[in-house]
């Protein structure tokens, strides 16, 4: 039930085209690298990612640091305000963030940070990407229920025994 990226407004597309030359394609290099020219340094609190409801809100400035230096897997939800299915899975992700200490749940707004979305070939949202040791380990596209999502993430969650 993902929303096609072509439905994004034209301002985001124009910004994306402008930023494209500044993006490092992490998939090509196999590891996360800083995005050159990502803009002026953000305040330290923003660089680390704002935490709300157990979910880390990422920016271009905080993405590489948060995902690349994590000591546990990080699930990044690529989303947008206008995306209905993204809004449906938001409370599910908040529940998982509260219940599962073995994984970090993070969100990245694709309209605000199209450079990162483009570098991971995010074409539809919601897209959930699991990173471990700074590398992409799993990519899930579309809204899923809590049970199905937990099943898809089971390899990254601590076992109960």
Q: Which residues does the annotation mark as catalytic? A: 83, 86
Token pair in block for residue 40 = 């002026």
142 alpha-carbon distance from chain centroid: 13
Looking at the DSSP bridge assignments, the partners of residue 75 are: 105, 130
State whether the Cα torsion 110-115-117-121 is positive or negative: positive
Angstrom CA distances, 120 to 40, 90, 150, stand at 22, 21, 22
Backbone torsion region of residue 115, taken as left when φ is above 0, otherwise alpha when ψ lies between -120 and 50, otherwise beta: alpha
Q: How far is it, in rounded angstroms, from Cα 87 to Cα 51?
A: 18
Tokens 């025994």, residue located: 161
């Amino acid at each position: 039930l993902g929303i096609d990226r072509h439905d994004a407004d034209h301002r985001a597309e124009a910004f994306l085209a402008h930023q494209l030359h500044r993006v490092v394609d992490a998939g090509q290099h196999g590891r996360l690298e800083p995005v050159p020219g990502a803009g002026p340094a953000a305040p330290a609190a923003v660089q680390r990612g704002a935490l709300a409801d157990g979910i880390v809100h990422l920016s271009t400035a905080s993405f590489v640091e948060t995902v690349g230096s994590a000591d546990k897997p990080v699930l990044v939800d690529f989303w947008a305000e206008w995306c209905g299915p993204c809004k449906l899975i938001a409370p599910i992700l908040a529940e998982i963030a509260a219940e599962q200490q073995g994984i970090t749940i993070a969100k990245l707004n694709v309209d605000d940070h199209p450079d990162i979305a483009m570098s991971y070939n995010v074409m539809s949202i919601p897209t959930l990407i699991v990173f471990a040791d700074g590398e992409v380990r799993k990519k899930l596209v579309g809204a899923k229920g809590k049970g199905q999502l937990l099943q898809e993430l089971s390899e990254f969650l601590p076992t109960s025994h």
